[in-house]
């Protein structure tokens, strides 16, 4: 994730004039027409556009993310975390009576385990299909069965690839929880006199 404040070299309290001035100053040195890097200029321009838009700037300040400046993996992780945050919001238990961060970590771990198990199942299924392909005698003119079975193997390969991508996204979401903790309320201890 690009930090637009850092990219422009301004403080978080900078006003519109300071942001515009910083952008113009930096743009002179990174502009492609003056020998600068196209990618750096693009990031600088995106940072300026974000900080110039009060709504986007507020969202970025509140969340630390902006879709245009975020890495694709970060966005996928955010989508996964968003679902888990919605579950926390809908949980009827009293805040402090359970650890929602630990609950999110458990759910993410369960998702990874389930996805890996699903991959193993698909690999086993693909191996069986390949075994059938090796054992079927080929029809000389048109190998309809062979093509159908090979097509199934390709579909399984695609599904495995998607599952592996999903595992990467879940791991990204898990990593985004690093550094968070949750303070639980201490349980009330009843005295022996009660």
Alpha carbon distances (Å) from 43 to 6, 32, 51, 139? 11, 12, 12, 58
Instruction: Tell me, yes or no, if the pTM score tops 0.85.
Output: no
Total Cβ atoms within 10 A of residue 182: 13
Nearest to 107 by CA among 88, 94, 132, 127: 88
Give CA–CA dist 11/6, Å, rounded: 8
pLDDT of residue 78: 82
Give CA–CA dist 40/97, Å, rounded: 47
pLDDT of residue 191: 60
CB 167 within 8 A of CB 116: yes
For every one of its 194 residues, what pLDDT tens digit does the chain have, with 9 covering 90 and above? 688 999 999 999 999 999 999 999 999 989 998 888 898 899 899 999 999 999 889 888 887 778 777 777 777 888 899 899 989 999 999 999 999 999 999 999 999 999 999 999 999 999 999 999 999 887 777 888 888 999 999 999 999 999 999 999 999 999 999 999 999 988 776 665 55
pLDDT of residue 194: 54
């Amino acid at each position: 994730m690009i930090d637009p404040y850092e990219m422009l070299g301004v403080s978080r309290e900078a006003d519109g004039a300071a942001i515009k001035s910083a952008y113009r100053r930096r743009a002179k040195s990174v502009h492609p027409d003056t020998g600068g890097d196209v990618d750096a200029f693009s990031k600088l321009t995106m940072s300026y556009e974000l900080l110039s838009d009060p709504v986007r700037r507020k969202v970025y300040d509140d969340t630390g993310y902006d879709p245009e400046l975020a890495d694709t993996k970060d966005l996928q992780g955010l989508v996964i975390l968003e679902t888990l945050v919605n579950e926390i919001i809908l949980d009827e238990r009293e805040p402090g009576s359970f650890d929602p961060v630990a609950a999110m970590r458990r759910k993410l771990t369960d998702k990874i385990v389930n996805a890996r198990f699903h991959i193993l199942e698909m690999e086993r299924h693909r191996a069986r299909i390949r075994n059938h392909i090796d054992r079927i005698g080929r029809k000389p003119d048109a190998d309809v069965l062979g093509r159908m079975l090979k097509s199934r193997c390709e579909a399984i390969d695609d599904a495995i690839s998607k599952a592996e991508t999903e595992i990467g996204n879940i791991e990204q979401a898990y990593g985004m929880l690093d550094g968070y903790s949750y303070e639980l309320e201490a349980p009330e201890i009843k005295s022996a006199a009660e």
